[in-house]
Structure 1
């Protein structure tokens, strides 16, 4: 039945669940109307505020926010969906955000199906007032939808660009030949500038060449992930721009290698030392956790440990079981702490120190990339407020 309702409403978002036992008839705005009830929730891939990837449950549920969404009319009656949207809170940055859905546009309370109905009627000889009556919205809403649709048909100006840009990519839609499309936004106000259907260097060259050199010279910085074609494009077409490596991609790469080596070490002791294997499996989050957040003063009983200990003691014990795990842990968290404290000399010295250590192949590969892009990572420390977090949030 829930599938039937979703088909009726053209509700393509699988994260929305309709309460099938609750449909109410209420008088709203002087008319008998149908009210449906549903919930929107999911596990976010990343924090929309700071961009940190939610791979260790850094983003938690934090209540709900209710919205009344306008649906297409049913049997001639206005219909609405009272949607309880999940709220999330990021433990890293402390910011909160609300679950997003493709059923409505951001900050909008009218379903996309109703918006499509308005645009369809706008192609006929109908007044805005008549369209508003048909779709159960206000004439101002009809006017706004028409103006927004007209704006998408205008040729975008090429006379200006923001001083600070963010470059990123996202999976293309089926109608686009390229596997990944390109999106870029203003790094300061987080407004999307434009979308290009292909992220390859040739396509970006053809796109940015439309801007005069004087306009491109005004760009001061571009924040990117470690994607080589972006670097080539920026050097060629933005001669005055500093390239900034997105810090969250750097930290994510480090944390991923620490996690992968822990799993690799666990697999070597799976049958030899089952108790140690279980400890590593149970307390893996403590190894990934910022060492400054571990407790070292109060002692408690913990499962799998026969003595009183604390979270710092658990980590110390686990690291003592393998020298390479300990070295990996120290390098990863030293680099992470250097970024959090914006301490470039410490970050640079840690990279030099890492050359003398026996580290896993995966981490060595990541550190070689850091060395290759060291100049751009230095810019990350010089522009501490600029990240790809906003555009990652838009993509996610």
Structure 2
């Protein structure tokens, strides 16, 4: 009978002795369940704490500790093993320890057979709750087993990195504590190198410190946005790499401040001029559009306008009522056009003119950042890279910060 139960539940540990006279059907967690009893005992070879060999009865028995282990279900009923584990006392160091078994991990109550069953079901198209019902464990246990297994089988080479890396962040899953997760990819092949749970400096430093010096020193360029910790991280771990700013993020920062300026002015006139408020609210996309995409020759009827007009005239009408919005609009689109046209000289001239214009506080803050990381360059190089990995079919101009060492 003992051999039959061991074979049935695949309890391949010779140190476990099953009680052949005990097999009860007990109501547990609202279900009829099968309960078995067993004992785990053996003679330890040495103390795991002090390492002394077990000679002359230096290690003696010191009672038992029972654990309820979850077994694989049998006959449609959940099954459990009440395993009494032998406790030992080391006379040399005075410390105690418990007998260990191969059927379950230390400090765990889910047997490895159940975990294997969970992983087998996880490879199929099913949900965690269904797996939990089939194996009579909680969905949290299923999720934990999947994550532990994924970490165990994950193998990443620490001896090689792509020569051209791109850093970015994204909103991850709810289980991630950080607001944003970090993603790293090969700029040229667009293959994801890895994903890190958060983008904090200490987490990224711990991650990149695993790679060999040779692998890190072979990286030639790193494409990033204006997130300053990325720059310090790149300088520390990739000293031979040139830092690259992606203009997509520059234009995105400009448009963000332009839209905030529109919203500020829109709220100011909400109760003073409701018609203008409604127009500002409805046609916000036109304000963000590049000037070259606006129509100025054909006239049509547009909602909220009592006359025939076109998209360029609508924008001119919306921005003419506020000097801050008007100057902010002009500055944002002039800088954006210079970036898209890869006109570095024009970009510098526009940036210099911004000091005398009536701009929003948010845009002035963004321009200060631009001056910090772009204007002080000794050399400016233009490269066209199709950043499909992060920005989806967007041909971007990349500004290599050759003089980054002067900024930090």
Normalised by the length of structure 1, the TM-score is 0.57
Which structure's CA Rg is the greater one? 2
The superposition leaves residues 315-351 of structure 1 with CA deviations (integer Å, 9 ceiling, x where unpaired) of 1222221121111111111111112111122222211
Tell me what 1:250 maps to. 250
In 1, the alpha carbon distance for the partners of 2:337 and 2:378 equals: 15
In 1, the alpha carbon distance for the partners of 2:274 and 2:174 equals: 48
Tell me what 1:368 maps to. 368
Q: Is residue 288 of structure 2 the alignment partner of residue 288 of structure 1?
A: yes
Q: Is the 8 A contact 1:244 1:376 kept in 2?
A: no
In 2, the alpha carbon distance for the partners of 1:301 and 1:377 equals: 48
Tell me what 1:334 maps to. 334
Structure number with higher relative contact order (C-alpha < 8 Å, ≥ 6 residues apart): 1
- In the superposition, relative to structure 1, how do residues 157 and 284 fare at CA in structure 2: closer, same or farther (>3 Å)? closer
Report the secondary structure of 2:153's partner residue: coil
RMSD across aligned C-alpha pairs, in angstroms? 3.1
**Which consecutive unaligned segments of at least 5 residues does structure 2 have?**
1-116, 125-148, 393-408
How do residues 145-184 of structure 1 correspond to structure 2 at under 5 angstroms? 153=153, 155-171=155-171, 173=173, 178-184=178-184
The structural deviation recorded for 1:203 is 2.6
In 2, the alpha carbon distance for the partners of 1:374 and 1:158 equals: 33
Tell me what 1:266 maps to. 266
Tell me what 1:215 maps to. 215
Query: Alignment length, in residue pairs?
Result: 252
Tell me what 1:191 maps to. 191
In 2, the alpha carbon distance for the partners of 1:365 and 1:150 equals: 43
Report the secondary structure of 1:385's partner residue: strand
Report the secondary structure of 2:193's partner residue: strand
- In the superposition, relative to structure 1, how do residues 294 and 380 fare at CA in structure 2: closer, same or farther (>3 Å)? farther
Report the secondary structure of 2:157's partner residue: coil
The structural deviation recorded for 1:216 is 1.7
- In the superposition, relative to structure 1, how do residues 177 and 353 fare at CA in structure 2: closer, same or farther (>3 Å)? same
Report the secondary structure of 1:165's partner residue: strand
Tell me what 2:104 maps to. none
Tell me what 2:121 maps to. 117
- In the superposition, relative to structure 1, how do residues 269 and 176 fare at CA in structure 2: closer, same or farther (>3 Å)? closer
- In the superposition, relative to structure 1, how do residues 309 and 170 fare at CA in structure 2: closer, same or farther (>3 Å)? closer
Q: Is the 8 A contact 2:180 2:199 kept in 1?
A: yes
- In the superposition, relative to structure 1, how do residues 378 and 363 fare at CA in structure 2: closer, same or farther (>3 Å)? farther
How do residues 1-396 of structure 1 correspond to structure 2 at under 5 angstroms? 116-117=120-121, 119=123, 153=153, 155-171=155-171, 173=173, 178-374=178-374, 382-385=382-385, 387=387, 389-391=388-390
